[in-house]
Structure 1
Amino acid sequence: MASSCTVVLPETRWSKSDPRYTKLNVDAAFFADGGLGATSAVLRDDRGNFVAAQCKFIPYAADAITTEAMSMRDGLAFANSLSFNRIEAESDSLEVINFCTGHTRWWDEAAALFAECVDIGTMIGKVTFKHCLRSCNQVAHVLANHSYCNKSSFSWLNEPPDIVVGKLVDDVTVF
């Protein structure tokens, strides 16, 4: 007799936050050859509507995990500067999420950055940290690469940059 089982595939598109929260997606770009990087943060409401975004060029980046930690710190600071008090923060870096949720000890080169993430989260009020697949984090990914390629930092409020409009529309889960 054959057994039947249901395979639950992980979400492959951006997912909506709890209605009481604003979703923050962060990502980083790190290029070891030049020791350069960039961070990005994208804020969306619970329906997937664009709220704000920023990307920052990092002229001296130590390594990938430190740059990913900087992206979470910069994203939380950005959300705090806009007075959001409930944030659902997502990163495609499981290591960052594990550090921010306390599942991993903070004894590496990025320890101070993770401590800052927790401190900023306390200032915000309520922050939940979640891991997401890179396919769910495409808007932040594109912005981090845009910042690196242009060697510049940018921010947007209310209106998204043209380079991510298609991704914002395509990746919102209907349900």
Structure 2
Amino acid sequence: MAVLAIANNFHQANQRSRDTHEKRWLKPNPRFVKLNVDASFHVDEGTGATAAVIQDEKGNFLAAQCKYLTHVSDVVTSETLAMRNGLAFANSFGFPRVEAESDSTTVIEYFSGQTRWWDAAAAIFAECVDVSSLIGKVTFKHCDRSSNQAAHVLASHSFCNKINSSWVNEPPAYLIPKLLDDVIPS
């Protein structure tokens, strides 16, 4: 089982997009908020972190959170925990329509029904479905790693500092450059 987890982690970490063109963050559909999630996983320590960033249809920062994971088995589990934590965070604000994005192809394929859940993350996936039903309308989309940098920075910050934090209306200073990159055309 451990060998399979290590092989899966290696595959997930080294999976490259065929399109080398850098993609940018896209605004959500009108009346939706955008939830970008990401995870950090460190196999040697069996730890990681999750992050969620919520922005409105104009790209304005609404809220963010990061959570340190003291025990996590693999990269798919950490990415699924990121989605669950992000959905629960969005639900706590009462947003009725959420576009949830992850740069994990595997997680998005699970939500779109392209892949069946037969691994350790199955119970977490079920929790995501439950939280989604509480929100109302949730759409799941894959995003390129380059358009998920704000969530990536938060997950890395949480892992490096072993902290849980959340912000509402005012992002942490170190996140502002990534948020600006999202909404200002280059």
Query: How far 1:41 sits from its partner (Å)?
Result: 0.3
1:66-145 equivalences under 5 Å are: 66-145=77-156
Query: How far 1:100 sits from its partner (Å)?
Result: 1.5
**Structure 1 vs Structure 2 CA RMSD:** 1.6
* Secondary structure at the counterpart of residue 183 of structure 2: coil
Q: Distance in 2 between matches of 1:46 and 1:129?
A: 16
Q: How big is each residue's C-alpha offset from its partner over 1:1-46, in whole Å with a ceiling of 9 and x where there is no partner?
A: xxxxxxx986611110001100000000000111110000000000
Identity over aligned pairs, percent: 60
Query: Would you say 1:36 and 2:74 are equivalent positions?
Result: no
* Secondary structure at the counterpart of residue 95 of structure 1: helix
Larger mean Cα displacement after TM superposition, 98-107 or 63-72: 98-107
Q: How big is each residue's C-alpha offset from its partner over 1:40-61, in whole Å with a ceiling of 9 and x where there is no partner?
A: 0000000111000000000111
TM-score (norm 1): 0.92
* Secondary structure at the counterpart of residue 166 of structure 1: helix
The verdict on how the C-alpha distance between 1:173 and 1:103 changes in structure 2, with shifts beyond 3 A counting, is: farther
Amino acid aligned to 1:83:
G
Amino acid aligned to 2:162:
K
The match for 1:49 is 60
Is contact 1:41-1:55 (8 Å) kept? yes
Query: How far 1:171 sits from its partner (Å)?
Result: 2.2
The verdict on how the C-alpha distance between 1:24 and 1:81 changes in structure 2, with shifts beyond 3 A counting, is: same
The match for 2:24 is 13
Q: Would you identify which runs of 4 or more consecutive aligned residues in structure 1 move more than 3 Å?
A: 8-11
Is contact 2:41-2:49 (8 Å) kept? yes
TM-score (norm 2): 0.87
The match for 1:4 is none
Query: How far 1:172 sits from its partner (Å)?
Result: 2.0
Q: Distance in 2 between matches of 1:108 and 1:20?
A: 35
Amino acid aligned to 1:128:
T
Q: Distance in 2 between matches of 1:105 and 1:10?
A: 30
Count of residues in correspondence between the two structures:
168
* Secondary structure at the counterpart of residue 79 of structure 2: helix
Amino acid aligned to 1:91:
S
Q: Distance in 2 between matches of 1:156 and 1:136?
A: 20
The structure richer in helix per residue is 2
Is contact 1:30-1:67 (8 Å) kept? yes
Query: How far 1:123 sits from its partner (Å)?
Result: 0.6
Larger Rg: 1
Q: How big is each residue's C-alpha offset from its partner over 1:71-115, in whole Å with a ceiling of 9 and x where there is no partner?
A: 000000000011111000000001101112222111111001111
Q: Distance in 2 between matches of 1:115 and 1:34?
A: 26
* Secondary structure at the counterpart of residue 171 of structure 1: helix
